[in-house]
């Protein structure tokens, strides 16, 4: 069932996105430290120890955060596909986009600046039970995610192109661009967690995590069990059992 798969993928995507956000922030700190060392190297020689540690943190953090972001992105795309199917089933309408269109819209450069935000806006529109014939109006949360996502993609492209330049100054500027890219990636990861949780809650409000067990403690106006009369004997507080003997 699409709703069950959506909930399962959301439960996996949220911690992965949290781990990714933490890793990119650590990597941003390592990049900032590297930039400080580059500034110090203009006036004095930098000790080899801190320089090697900085390079190791940057490389390790970059590789691990990249792997984590790829895994989190794949799980989140799966969540988006099943959330779209769940919303269509709940609204009894045909899906606006097929699964491959959603995946391609996230992966194809240029298209991924627009389609993921539009897909989330449509998903939110359906999850809120709005009129399917009306144009979706995304909430401030979805608009904020959309802006952070587009800015992160643009910053990533600029950073990759900047790395092709040579020279000490270009390298220093590239480090700053890496810091900005990592910070934006952290914002996207955290915002995605909020979006996934909210839309999953809207599409599937009866999950075990959000539901509470209701126990009846007292019913106003009801008689106590001891005051009940047996329907056959009319005796107060007496219930016939198998041990009772019946004499003719």
pLDDT digits (tens, 9 = 90+) for 22-74: 999 999 999 998 888 877 766 666 677 777 888 888 889 889 999 999 999 99
- Write down the pLDDT at residue 131: 79
DSSP class of residue 236 equals B
- Write down the pLDDT at residue 46: 64
Give me the residue spans of the domains in the chain.
Answer: 2-203
Q: Which residues contact 26 (CB under 8 A, 6 or more apart)?
A: 57, 61, 65
SS (H, E, C) 189-202: HHHHHHHHHHHHHH
* pTM reported for the whole predicted model: 0.77
pLDDT digits (tens, 9 = 90+) for 145-183: 999 999 999 999 999 998 888 776 777 788 889 999 999
DSSP class of residue 229 equals B
pLDDT digits (tens, 9 = 90+) for 102-150: 999 999 999 999 999 999 999 998 888 887 778 889 999 999 999 999 9
Contact 120, 142 (CB under 8 A): yes
- Rounded to whole angstroms, the Cα distance separating 104 from 92 reads 25
Distances (CA, A) of 9 to 24, 66, 83, 86, 185: 22, 20, 10, 13, 21
If one counts every other C-beta atom within 10 angstroms of the C-beta of residue 143, the result is 14
DSSP for 199-220 reads HHHHH-TT-TTT---------T
Which residues make beta-bridge pairs with 22? none
Which secondary structure element, helix H or strand E, spans residue 142, and what is its range? helix 140-162
Place of tokens 């003719």: 248
Contact 17, 76 (CB under 8 A): yes
Place of tokens 């691990």: 64
pLDDT score of 241 more than 50: no
Q: Angle at the Cα of 109 (from 5 to 150), degrees rounded to 5?
A: 80
- Helix, strand, or coil (residue 213): coil
Rg of the chain over all Cα atoms, to the nearest angstrom: 29
- Rounded to whole angstroms, the Cα distance separating 15 from 9 reads 11
pLDDT score of 208 more than 50: no
């Amino acid at each position: 069932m699409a709703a069950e798969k959506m909930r399962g993928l959301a439960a996996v995507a949220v911690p992965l996105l949290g781990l990714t956000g933490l890793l990119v922030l650590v990597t941003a700190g390592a990049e900032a430290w590297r930039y400080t060392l580059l500034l110090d190297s203009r006036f004095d020689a930098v000790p080899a120890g801190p320089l090697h540690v900085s390079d190791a943190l940057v490389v390790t953090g970059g590789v691990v955060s990249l792997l984590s972001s790829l895994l989190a992105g794949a799980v989140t795309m799966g969540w988006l596909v099943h959330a779209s199917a769940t919303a269509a089933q709940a609204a009894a309408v045909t899906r606006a986009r097929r699964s491959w269109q959603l995946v391609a819209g996230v992966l194809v450069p240029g298209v991924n600046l627009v389609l993921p935000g539009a897909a989330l806006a449509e998903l939110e529109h359906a999850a809120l039970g709005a009129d399917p014939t009306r144009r979706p109006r995304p909430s401030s949360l979805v608009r904020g995610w959309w802006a952070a996502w587009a800015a992160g993609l643009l910053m990533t492209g600029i950073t990759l192109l900047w790395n092709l330049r040579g020279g000490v100054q270009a390298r220093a500027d590239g480090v700053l661009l890496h810091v900005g890219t990592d910070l934006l990636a952290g914002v996207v990861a955290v915002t995605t967690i909020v979006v996934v949780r909210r839309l999953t809650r809207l599409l599937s409000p009866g999950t075990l995590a959000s539901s509470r067990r209701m126990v009846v403690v007292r019913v106003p106006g009801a008689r106590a069990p001891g005051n009940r009369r047996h329907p056959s004997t009319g005796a107060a507080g007496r219930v016939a059992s198998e041990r009772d003997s019946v004499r003719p």
